[in-house]
Amino acid sequence: MYTIGKLSKNTGVTVRTLDYYDEIGLIKPSSKTSGGHRLYSEDDVMRLERVLALKYMGFSLEQIKDILENSTSNWLESIQQQLELVKREQERLKMLEQALLGVSYSIEFEGEINWPIIFSMIKLYQQDPGDVLEKYKEYLNEDEMKKIVDMSVENMSEEDIQAWLRVVGDIRNNLHLDPNSEKAEQLVLSWADQADKMFGNDEELLGNMWEALQNLQEGIAFYPMNKDVIDFIKCVALAKGGQTHDS
């Protein structure tokens, strides 16, 4: 027989919690002293342990009461419902993590809060990515849209993301460079390399994407490229001679 304090110490559950479980009829002490102090038996301890196990599994106290009371209740079903719930929650968190990562990248790059980009990020991972890429429909066909969606942060390797952020970031930090300079050319070449690597040899896609970027100049696809970067790349390409291999 344990007093509520001893039980609390043994199980790590606070007295208030045991108080509450008594109050809602989840764990009622099987006896009391003449003075009214609660005494918990070994059976009560067992019940508490079961309650804690079920709580860990994510059931509500109401559900736990139901499960422990109704021996007719279908355990397997309850567990598997929880499993489904946990899986869905994991999916949600994965999306959330990607969105947060995206926002984090965006803040690092912009140096300030770019709300439209943040909204796009969230939408992108929240529901229909097609919605976010709406604006590109004019320039890209179905297949190309799909390809880009599949290629979004979600499915790119961490290295590719880093590399892409780096090459674009390098350009953004050096927009003041003379388009004729050696350095500028090198930056653009690095960028072209990475673009090639990521978009493969699909010249048509690259072309359409380039056109879309030139006209829309900002957006979630190909983030963090923006108008300035595009203009810079164009300038450098032009400076290098009429023959541009980018557009």
Residue 31, phi then psi, degrees to nearest 5: -155, 170
CB-CB contact of 66 with 73 (8 Å): yes
> In the bound complex, what is the minimum distance in angstroms from residue 186's beta carbon to a second copy?
29
36 binds DNA (CB under 7 A): yes
3-state DSSP helix/strand/coil % of the chain, to nearest 5: 70, 5, 30
CB-CB contact of 93 with 81 (8 Å): no
Choices 95-103, 149-157, 187-195, 227-235; region in contact with a second copy by CB under 8 A: 95-103
Torsion region of 237: left, alpha or beta (phi above 0 gives left; psi -120 to 50 gives alpha): alpha
> In the bound complex, what is the minimum distance in angstroms from residue 174's beta carbon to a second copy?
22
8 binds DNA (CB under 7 A): yes
Q: Is the dihedral of CA 7, 12, 17, 21 positive or negative?
A: negative
20 binds DNA (CB under 7 A): yes
Residue of 66, 69, 108, 204 interacting with a second copy (CB under 8 A):
108
**Amino acid at residue number 66:** D
Q: Which of DNA, a second copy, none does residue 99 bind (CB under 5 to 8 Å by kind)?
A: a second copy
The count of other CB atoms within 10 Å of the CB of residue 144 is 19
Nearer to a second copy, 121 or 145 (CB): 121
**For the window 112-151, what string marks contact with DNA as x by the rule CB under 7 A?**
----------------------------------------
SS3 for 30?
Answer: coil
Nearest to 175 by CA among 130, 246, 224, 244: 224
- Judged on CB neighbours under 10 Å (0-12, 13-18, 19+), 147 is middle
Choices 4-12, 67-75, 101-109, 143-151; region in contact with DNA by CB under 7 A: 4-12
CA distances, 75 to each of 39, 80, 88, 140 (Å): 30, 8, 20, 51
Residue of 60, 104, 141, 181 interacting with DNA (CB under 7 A):
60
37 binds DNA (CB under 7 A): yes
Residues 51-70 that bind a second copy (CB under 8 A): 53, 56-58
127 binds a second copy (CB under 8 A): no
15 binds a second copy (CB under 8 A): no
Which DSSP helix (H) or strand (E) runs through 179?
A: none
What is the C-alpha radius of gyration for the chain, rounded to an integer number of angstroms? 30
Using CB under 7 A, list all residues that contact DNA. Answer: 3-6, 8, 14-17, 19-20, 33-38, 55, 60-62
Using CB under 8 A, list all residues that contact a second copy. Answer: 46, 49-50, 53, 56-58, 75-76, 79-80, 82-83, 86-87, 89-90, 93-94, 96-97, 99-101, 103-104, 107-108, 113, 115, 118-119, 122, 126
